[in-house]
Amino acid sequence: MNFSGRLEELEKKFLAIEQELTQPEVFSDRVKSLRLSRSLAELRPVVEKFRVFQKLDRELEGNKNLLQGQDRELAELVKAELPGLERQKQVLEQELKEMLVPPDPDDAKNAILEIRAGTGGNEAALFVRELFEMYQKWLEKKGLRISILNHHSTDLGGFKEIISQVEGAGAYGWFKFESGVHRVQRVPATEAQGRIHTSTVTVAVLPEAEEVDLQVNESELRVDVYHSQGPGGQGVNTTDSAVRITHLPSGMVVTCQDERSQHKNKARAFKILKARLLEMEKEKQRSQREGIRRSQVGSGERAEKIRTYNFPQNRVTDHRVNVTLYQLDRVMEGNLDELVDTLRSGEKADKLAEFEKEPRGGLERNQART
């Protein structure tokens, strides 16, 4: 299917969804209505730009016909306008191609951010805290909000793990590139001989599951309550406020104890569980489609890494895009844009190259599943 044919197919899909949303049985089905409305919103910008493109294309064809007419003065005027119109058409065509390879549908969602200590003991746990604080500063600059859902702290002030929710426009789209193993090289404060140690921290970023994405049957859950525990094992309070939710079909377990309210802990644990189940389902689909099984963050071993933070050299290196900055101090203050913008640009270029090779583009594949 050629370029215009793809766009005509999407325009027909757009008109069909518009018509379907007017049907009473669809209007009364909240989940279906939400899904169709989301598809319509995703299609609208590309359909509107395609209509502008069609109008310009008709104008060009009309002007070319005038060149063959008897009015030579008019033909000269038209000839002078043609290069500008051709340039406009080329710009619109490039914009439409980019719109046919849109961002991941999950990019606009809130995110669940999970940071865990890998190898390195207390030093890794301390870097979990520093990485979380780095993200807090970055999020503040982006106008996003972060709230802690659950954490397990250590006696030295680090975190074995910290799980939080990131809210705001495009939260997952900004954060998804942080998934993977982060390696830190520095002299620990506890190292008497001044030797450089290498530790790792794993980061997992999950799109927050919405009702339209995933429905979990409560009969498939086992909910246990128990006393909250602090670092070192001491009780945080004497009531059964901590909650453990087990998803029986998958065996997945989520615990939450940060709140004194059992109900709040249950709601937070359920939010984390749904995000993990959604990611598990997507991973299964990717494995079936690609024939391989990929883990998001690996095992946390020192050899597996997406980014290295070298404190003695004030250097940070992102190994996926081979970018090195000698301004680690600024990065740790939340200045991540240079790294993340490079990753976002790389993703866009890869998707555009894939679009050029494949008979059906990304937006078309998304809409085919609607």
Which residues constitute the domain of residue 29?
3-100
The pLDDT score that the predictor gives to residue 171 is: 92
The pLDDT score that the predictor gives to residue 230 is: 57
| 75 and 124 co-located in one domain | no
| Tally of domains within the chain | 2
Q: Give the mean model confidence (pLDDT) for residues 37-51.
A: 91
In a domain, 183, yes or no: yes
Angle in degrees, 0-180, between the axes of helices 3-20 and 72-99, rounded to the nearest 10: 70
The pLDDT score that the predictor gives to residue 309 is: 97
In a domain, 115, yes or no: yes
**Residue 211: pLDDT band with limits 50, 70, 90:** low
Q: Give the mean model confidence (pLDDT) for residues 272-277.
A: 86
Specify the long-range contacts of residues 49-58, CB closer than 8 Å, at least 24 apart: 49/92, 49/95, 49/96, 49/99, 50/7, 50/10, 50/11, 50/96, 51/11, 52/92, 53/7, 53/89, 53/92, 53/93, 53/96, 56/85, 56/88, 56/89, 56/92, 57/89
**Residue 266: pLDDT band with limits 50, 70, 90:** confident
| 46 and 71 co-located in one domain | yes
| 143 and 75 co-located in one domain | no
- How large is the C-alpha radius of gyration of the chain? 26
| 217 and 273 co-located in one domain | yes
In a domain, 147, yes or no: yes
Q: Give the mean model confidence (pLDDT) for residues 287-316.
A: 66
| 210 and 340 co-located in one domain | yes
| 286 and 330 co-located in one domain | yes
In a domain, 370, yes or no: no
The pLDDT score that the predictor gives to residue 285 is: 62
Higher pLDDT, 211 or 223: 223
CATH at 173: 3.30.70.1660
Percent of the chain with pLDDT over 70: 84
CATH at 9: 1.20.58
In a domain, 204, yes or no: yes
**Residue 295: pLDDT band with limits 50, 70, 90:** very low
Least confident span in 10-24, 177-191, 220-234, 254-268? 220-234
Q: Which of 100, 127, 160 is at the close of a domain?
A: 100
In a domain, 365, yes or no: no
Phi and psi angles of residue 208, each rounded to the nearest 5 degrees, phi first: -65, 130
Calculate the alpha carbon distances from 320 to 54, 297, 323 in Å: 39, 14, 8
Both structure tokens of 21: 């949303």
**For the chain, first and last CA: distance in Å?**
20
In a domain, 360, yes or no: no
Q: Which of 37, 68, 100 is at the close of a domain?
A: 100
Least confident span in 89-93, 196-200, 288-292, 334-338? 288-292
| 222 and 77 co-located in one domain | no
Q: Render pLDDT for 342-366 as a digit per residue (tens, 0 to 9).
A: 998 888 888 777 766 665 555 555 5
The pLDDT score that the predictor gives to residue 291 is: 42
In a domain, 54, yes or no: yes
The pLDDT score that the predictor gives to residue 135 is: 97
213, pLDDT greater than 80: no
**Residue 124: pLDDT band with limits 50, 70, 90:** very high
